[in-house]
Chain A
């Protein structure tokens, strides 16, 4: 059942923002590898909710579906991937002696490997993985991705294995 837009909608909107914004942003950031794009689309998702003027039956699933659609539209016209820290020779360093930046670089490379592994996955597997990581139930995932709910578990297991394999291959290559 949906509530009409009343003064309490503002309160519900605020509650939904608190409950779901981080999750929507995290999903978008993971799926896009672009924090700025993720922030834009996450905000746009909540603008859509406000524009709707009423609270959906399953707000979390509604929000993530809107976010996914907005991302697909954005990705088709604005495919910007961060290419951070590609190997190259050391050129110049002035002032203080350089710190051994091994740990910071290693963390950055690890993030890059995760990004590459996610980017290399089929869209369906990646969406399965990331939606389940955000706590969505199999039923919600099946609806969002147009899957048979009875096979979500098996598909999810394959997606996890595919991600691990892609990550390890990415590690071997770097």
Chain B
């Protein structure tokens, strides 16, 4: 009499009672066939686990205060005096509200400031100033230019190093530039693969305003998305507009 499949799985998943496990192990001590089945199932569990982990990406950074505030808002009862979390979160909300009004003014320098701060808060970006548009040619710069088509993924490998300054432009091409030697580039019709050789490199990316869908990924993490007339980064979505620079930690 061999182990039932259910018994075998429960043994490996730690779901047997102590008594049932003892009995099962006594059987395994004398049954080659069941030991072979257990070994095969163990291998399968390990293989499946490894495959699943290979597809994982790191979790986002989340502010507990923001979740608490959203919880209170969902109940329709914001009471900023209720807790230290809510007081801090409410302060942030008011600041964002005031900044949002100024942000909406065409040409407002607050666009760069807001994006820099948002990026700082969510991605710990070091450089918080706006910059001039990147040079797209000439000496001292290497890079790539590509028509984006319907969809384009810009993939930085490995993730977690470097910084990108993303600027929306009227040019039809996506232009990516960096100092020579800092990176390598390869592209196909719907993606650009950037091998980051220097973790301190700052990439300048010019994204066409007309591009329908462009995603920037750092390793497995999406750090920027332009979808039609909207851009999203660091959990913030805004209208796509020229004239400001978004700093993205890669």
A interface residues with partner B (beta carbon < 8 Å):
7, 10, 13-14, 17, 21-22, 25-26, 29-30, 33, 35-36, 39, 42-43, 46-51, 53, 83-99, 101, 104-105, 107-108, 110-111, 114-115, 117-118, 129-130, 132-133, 137-138, 150-151, 153-154, 156-157, 160-161, 163-164, 167
A96 to B201, CA, bound (A): 14
When the two chains form the complex, which single residue of A53, A114, A156 contacts B52, counting CB atoms closer than 8 Å?
A: A114
Which of B144, B177, B189 is A88 in contact with, Cβ under 8 Å? B189
Check A90–B44 contact: CB distance below 8 A: no
Determine if B51 is an interface residue (Cβ-Cβ < 8 Å): yes
Residues A101 and B6 in contact, CB atoms below 8 Å apart: no
Contact (Cβ within 8 A) B44 A115: no
Q: How far is the CA of A43 from the CA of B143 in the complex (A)?
A: 37
What are 17 inter-chain pairs, A to B, with CB distance below 8 A?
A10-B83, A13-B68, A22-B59, A35-B222, A46-B71, A47-B71, A50-B71, A53-B75, A84-B153, A91-B189, A95-B185, A96-B181, A96-B184, A98-B184, A101-B195, A156-B9, A160-B45
Chain A residues within 8 Å of B157, by CB = 101, 104
Instruction: Say whether A51 contacts B75, CB under 8 Å.
Output: yes
Q: How large is the interface on B (under 10, 10 to 19, 20 to 34, 35 or more residues)?
A: 35 or more
Interface contact B44-A164, CB-CB below 8 Å: yes
Distance of A110 Cα from B137 Cα, bound (Å): 36
In the complex formed, the residue of A with least CB distance to B83 is A10
Shortest distance between the CB of A137 and any CB in chain B (Å) = 7
Known: A95-B180, A133-B49, A154-B5. A115 touches B55 (CB 8 A): yes
Q: Which of B107-146 contact A (CB under 8 A)?
A: 141-146
Q: Which of A17, A85, A87 contacts B64 (CB 8 A)?
A: A17
Q: How far is the CA of A167 from the CA of B52 in the complex (A)?
A: 11
A26 vs B58: C-alpha distance in the bound complex, in angstroms?
8
State A36–B188 Cα separation when bound (angstroms).
Answer: 24
Write the B50-72 contact mask toward A (1 if CB under 8 angstroms, else 0).
01101111011010100110111
Structural contact, A160 and B195, CB atoms closer than 8 A: no
- CB of B103 closer than 8 Å to a CB of A: no
> How far is it, in angstroms, between the C-alpha of A164 and the C-alpha of B40 when the chains are bound?
13
Distance (whole angstroms) from the CB of A90 to the closest CB of chain B: 6
Check if B220 is an interface residue, CB within 8 A of chain A: yes
B55 and A111 form a contact (CB under 8 A): yes
